[in-house]
Structure 1
Amino acid sequence: MLILVINSGSSSLKYQLREVHPDGGEPAEPVIASGLVERIGVPGSGVDNHSEALEQVNAELETVLGGRTIDAAGHRVVHGGERFKAPALVTMEVIRAIERLAPLAPLHNPAAAQGLRAIAEKWPEMPQVVVFDTSFHQTMPEEAWRYALPDALYTEDGIRRYGFHGTSHDLVTGLAAETLGIPREQFSAVILHLGNGASATAIAGGASVDTTMGYTPLAGLVMGTRSGDVDPSIITHLIRNGSYDADQMDRLLNRESGLLGMSGHADMRQVVDNAHAGDRRARMALKVASYRLAKYVGGYHVAVGGAQAVVFTAGIGENSAPFRAAVLDRLAPLGIAYEAEKNLERSGAPRVISTADSAIPVLVVPTDEEMAIAQATVELAMGAGAR
């Protein structure tokens, strides 16, 4: 089956055309085409909306389809609220529900809905599936997702911890359990999705029981440009004394903080290089980021009743051996030990980098969110009568 995987941003549309075998087999070349349409809606870009972006994607795909027809489309949607606990086959009601959730993800959900409507208009018979970043975390117990705020803020306004990166955490959980030979339903771990956006998730019985991101993706770990956890009184203080208004504060915390705010660079590779060259700010940024992460790992080790693995994934987690080492060195009190040479290795397959006598195995597991979305799309689209 040919599956078009779509990731609609506020002003961009990223796509992959993938070959997926319904029986689970891996094609020789699963990714047939991929691309990115940027600056959608920006004056002078020539792409006024997501419908026009889709026309551009279609023109690019026609050169590789060779007469074949796309069987279904799978979409990443950031926020599914409490309604969507699993991938869903798209109907107009589902699209409207995604639009109603826009206040929880104002930059992402409206764009996703536009992409869904655009494909429905161009290919009305094509099944579409939505896969939500938040749905994997709907298994969290209430004590994990509740905030200590007045009850009405949850019951009337939906303010609670939702969590994100769920597609990646879900996929990597299964791959890590398989690598260690542990049935998923018996698997407990701490999964570390570390990219420009970063989150840690506590896994018990193969399911999410806690995660660092919260009502929005801002909470938790130090990220490329996001602050992660801060004392809320800092925010009210800066707004009250006139230094920032709400919009400026939002920009400060989401786009001007994290590694960028501390070191001047959002890219972990540059931060590591600068730290090795003796840059004081870069060294401090690495210390803060690795300390914050190690602290969460320790807490989640307790939360799951004893983790059977600590798993690194995503861009930084898979590729930054220096940052992995900085985190793992802090976890020595848990009995974690790793092999320096294994940590430096590069591989496209899941691998164990801990020593044989490490109290907790440490794994590096590549993630592939597009693959996970394509597989979920096939499962639901087959039931909808896709070719």
Structure 2
Amino acid sequence: MTTTPTKEGSAAVQARRVLVLNSGSSSVKYQLLDMNDRSRLAIGLVERIGEETSRLLHTPLTGGDAETRERTGRIADHAAALKAAAEELAADGLGLDSPELAAIGHRVVHGGLRFTRPTVITDEVLTEIERLVPVAPLHNPANITGIRTAQALRPDLPQVAVFDTAFHTTMPEYAARYAIDVETADAHRIRRYGFHGTSHAYVSRKAAELLGRTPEEVNVIVLHLGNGASASAVAAGRCVETSMGLTPLEGLVMGTRSGDIDPAVTFHLKRVAGMSTDEIDVLLNKKSGLLGLCGDNDMREIRRRIDEGDERAALAFDIYVHRLKKYIGAYSAVLGRVDAVVFTAGVGENSAPVREAAIAGLEELGLVVDAGLNAVRSGEPRLISPNYARVAVAVVPTDEELEIADQTFALVGRAESAGQEVPVGEVDN
């Protein structure tokens, strides 16, 4: 592992910290982790970047009760956001200039087919991420900005890209291909890539641990249900099918995204409603899903409205659950044998009614939920199915930041432990 001489030139400091950055279009989330015990040293969020109402929330976790500090006022851009975050970390003795920092791990949404594993970022790698902007226009530009800003802050430090799409690159061609002209598809990189891969990788592995088995021994259906939502079928630790496609729009009903829809709806809206391509894009990505169906994309508010007899909210909930059931059934067929169905992310971890409704009526598939276990609120992985159930139903809290840190540190630490240089630009062809 990397050792750095102290100022006195005597003892050495082991570099075993990883900073994880998740850069969005107007926000930066960050976590600093100590990989000795995989604990968090600090977490933070900079939001509304570029606005007069910018805000930074920073929480040190190094001792005592965690107390969040807040900064308000305009933060002009991502460079200013990361500089402000670095200042907050330095105030806690966790500055980015510390010799204990081993690497910075970046969440990158789209890695296409070339990036199938975490990759140390070089100019060549960054160029390829830029080439993928047309298939991830909402996400990759922000990821690139975060990478470049972090490189400017610590040009000497390995910067590692961990790709949302990487876990899904094991899908067989018959699952990844759309049934359109092959030459057209290849020329424009049109295929199913899948997203939320770091979450699906982490949760499927943790589910196997919960069952007391190795990932290679189990088949798991993972339901990542947040504002964005996706399902995956994982056979023996490898993704064989996932619900999102070329973009994160395909698949389940989401907070503001439609999920699966007849492609001809877009032609119809253009021809009959006179909508532009950009207007249709906004409609399907930002004004559809639960929000479009009932005016709310917060499942807690939707459940409150249902309890008060709101029919629009009830219909939105039923559509949401119906789509979940379809995917559970389809993925059961794809896998042949299912050992567990696992709920994760904000809705999946916290909404007992969603879990209950999604599993109800699937007894013939071996799926049953125990009402008492399902009602328990906990931050720990847990089974919510009775002992007699043929297929386990579980709740496993996701931890994408820890997964990014683990993958980043494994890549950097593997080479350094062997006395080698950190591998750079591992680009798969």
TM range, normalised to the smaller chain? over 0.9
* 1:147-202 residue CA offsets vs partner (Å, 9 max, x unmatched): 01111222111000000000000011111111112221121111110100000101
Q: Work out which of the two has the higher radius of gyration on C-alpha atoms and give 1 or 2.
A: 2
In structure 2, give the amino acid aligned to 1:287. D
Q: Tell me whether 1:294 sits opposite 2:325 in the alignment.
A: yes
1:377 to 398, 403, 408: 408
Counterpart-to-counterpart distance in 2, 1:141 and 1:6: 31
Q: Tell me whether 1:312 sits opposite 2:312 in the alignment.
A: no
1:50 to 57, 74, 78: 78
In structure 1, give the amino acid aligned to 2:241. D
Partner SS, residue 65 of structure 1: coil
Corresponding residue for residue 232 of structure 1: 263
Counterparts of 1:96-175 in structure 2 under 5 Å? 96-175=127-206
Corresponding residue for residue 30 of structure 2: 15
In structure 1, give the amino acid aligned to 2:412. A
Shift of 1:325: 0.6
Q: Tell me whether 1:247 sits opposite 2:247 in the alignment.
A: no
Corresponding residue for residue 83 of structure 1: 114
In structure 2, give the amino acid aligned to 1:16. Q
Two-structure CA RMSD over aligned residues (Å): 1.6
Check conservation: 1:218, 1:254, Cα contact below 8 A.
yes
Shift of 1:66: 5.2
Counterpart-to-counterpart distance in 2, 1:116 and 1:155: 28
Structure 1 residues 241, 364: CA separation in 2 closer, same or farther (over 3 Å shift)?
A: same
Corresponding residue for residue 216 of structure 2: 185
Please list every run of 5 or more consecutive structure 2 residues that lacks an aligned counterpart in the other structure: 1-15, 55-73, 423-429
Counterpart-to-counterpart distance in 1, 2:393 and 2:281: 35
Partner SS, residue 256 of structure 2: coil
Structure 1 residues 169, 66: CA separation in 2 closer, same or farther (over 3 Å shift)?
A: closer
Counterpart-to-counterpart distance in 2, 1:136 and 1:6: 19
Counterpart-to-counterpart distance in 1, 2:401 and 2:410: 14
Shift of 1:44: 8.1
* 1:87-144 residue CA offsets vs partner (Å, 9 max, x unmatched): 1111121111111111111121111111111111221111111110000000000010
Counterpart-to-counterpart distance in 2, 1:288 and 1:333: 22
What TM-score do you get using the length of structure 1 for normalisation? Answer: 0.95
* 1:10-68 residue CA offsets vs partner (Å, 9 max, x unmatched): 121111111112xxx44xxx222222222334478643332222111111111112564
Counterpart-to-counterpart distance in 1, 2:241 and 2:20: 28
Counterpart-to-counterpart distance in 2, 1:66 and 1:106: 34
Counterpart-to-counterpart distance in 1, 2:94 and 2:291: 45
Corresponding residue for residue 345 of structure 1: 376
Counterpart-to-counterpart distance in 2, 1:232 and 1:320: 31
How many pairs are equivalent?
A: 380
Corresponding residue for residue 358 of structure 2: 327
Partner SS, residue 333 of structure 1: helix
Partner SS, residue 367 of structure 1: coil
Counterpart-to-counterpart distance in 2, 1:71 and 1:155: 38
1:257 to 288, 291, 295: 288
In structure 2, give the amino acid aligned to 1:331. L
Q: Tell me whether 1:32 sits opposite 2:41 in the alignment.
A: yes
Counterpart-to-counterpart distance in 1, 2:31 and 2:91: 14
Check conservation: 1:128, 1:381, Cα contact below 8 A.
no
Counterpart-to-counterpart distance in 2, 1:52 and 1:330: 52
Counterpart-to-counterpart distance in 2, 1:153 and 1:132: 25
Q: Tell me whether 1:194 sits opposite 2:222 in the alignment.
A: no
Counterpart-to-counterpart distance in 2, 1:35 and 1:349: 22
Partner SS, residue 71 of structure 1: strand
Corresponding residue for residue 285 of structure 1: 316
Q: Could you tell which deviates more after superposition, 331-340 or 368-377?
A: 331-340
Corresponding residue for residue 8 of structure 2: none
In structure 1, give the amino acid aligned to 2:42. A
Check conservation: 1:72, 1:126, Cα contact below 8 A.
yes
Q: Could you tell which deviates more after superposition, 317-326 or 53-62?
A: 53-62
Check conservation: 1:201, 1:211, Cα contact below 8 A.
yes
